[in-house]
Amino acid sequence: MHLLSVLLGVVGLVTVSASQDLRDLYHWNDVRRGRQGPEIFGTFNEVDTEEMHQAIQCIADNICNRRAIPKQGKVRCTIGTSVAYICNYRDKRHFDHGDLPCSADEMYEAWRQIRIAKGTETGWWYDKPYHQTMGFDKRCKHNQCDNGWEFSNKAEQCTNINTGSFDNPWTFDYEAPVYLNYTGVYAQRMPTPGDPMEPLYFAPWYEGKRPGKPQIPQEGAWKA
């Protein structure tokens, strides 16, 4: 189900589409982000949508419903050829001493926004005020595709967390042909990429920039 109707700005009515389970849109857009929209980058890879639904539930079941992602942490689930991941850029100076809560609803909303704004099923969504990235992409191995960070397996997602993250292991890293515990309980209808009838409710969104090559840390620069 989607909610329709919200008045934004002074130029007229802007139609809204958002998960019914998300928090109030004014809180989501104005309070949390201070009127600054997310940065969105599209990678234009082909993925299996059903596998991505499974990958999102995998993160929700194993991380979001159990605990927050610790500071400078990164989690991902790879189901078949589809990858969902979250990067936590917080440190102890930020909210909750760096811990990042997550939810299936937020992941679906990020994926929805990527599909609408970039016209692709894959890419990443960076929420600067909240210090997190959520991404949805193809499993890239052996120069087969561009994952939006570096090409293929030259650098994995979340390698720009800090200068020492090149050697920082994943907080949670699950990979399987199928997610055997999948029930579809969180699955939401996703719009066709680039569908002009699915407008964005947040404003503005920014064209994301490729994070670039990770810096190889000096010895002893990072300790998990």
| pLDDT tens by residue, 51-98 | 999 999 999 999 999 999 999 999 999 999 999 999 999 887 776 788
User: How far is it, in rounded angstroms, from Cα 38 to Cα 131?
Assistant: 11
Looking at mean pLDDT, say which of 5-14, 50-59, 120-129, 139-148 comes out highest: 50-59
Residues for the chain: how many in total? 224
CB 46 within 8 A of CB 142: no
Q: Which residue type occupies 150? A: E
Residue position matching structure tokens 């029930």: 183
CB 165 within 8 A of CB 222: yes
Quote the CA–CA distance of 93 and 106 in Å, as a whole number. 23
Which residues partner with 123 through β-bridges? 42, 136
* CA-based nearest residue to 133, from 38, 24, 33, 224: 38
Residue of 195 and 7 predicted with greater confidence: 195
Tell me whether residue 144 is exposed, middle or buried, using C-beta atoms within 10 angstroms of its C-beta: 0 to 12, 13 to 18, 19 or more: middle
- Tally of CB atoms within 10 A around 207: 10
Share of residues in the chain with pLDDT > 90 (%):
44
- With a cut of 70, say whether residue 167 has pLDDT above it: no
Cβ-based neighbour number of residue 220 at 10 Å: 7
CB 43 within 8 A of CB 123: yes
Report d(CA 80, CA 67) in Å as an integer: 25
Mean pLDDT of 9-14: 28
Q: Are 142 and 152 in contact (CB under 8 A)?
A: yes
Least confident of 26-35, 129-138, 195-204: 26-35
More confident call, 122 vs 8: 122
pLDDT of residue 140: 80
Among 124-128, 152-156, 172-176, whose mean pLDDT is lowest?
A: 152-156
The whole-angstrom separation of Cα 55 and Cα 192 is 19
Q: Averaged over 172-200, what is the pLDDT?
A: 90
Give the H or E element holding residue 66: none
Residue 47 pLDDT greater than 90, yes or no? yes
Report yes or no: 89 and 73 within 8 Å, Cβ to Cβ: no
Alpha helices in 36-119 (DSSP H): 49-59, 104-118
**DSSP assignment of 193-214, as one string?**
TT-TTS---SS--EE-----PP
Question: Which pair of tokens denotes residue 167?
Answer: 């050697």
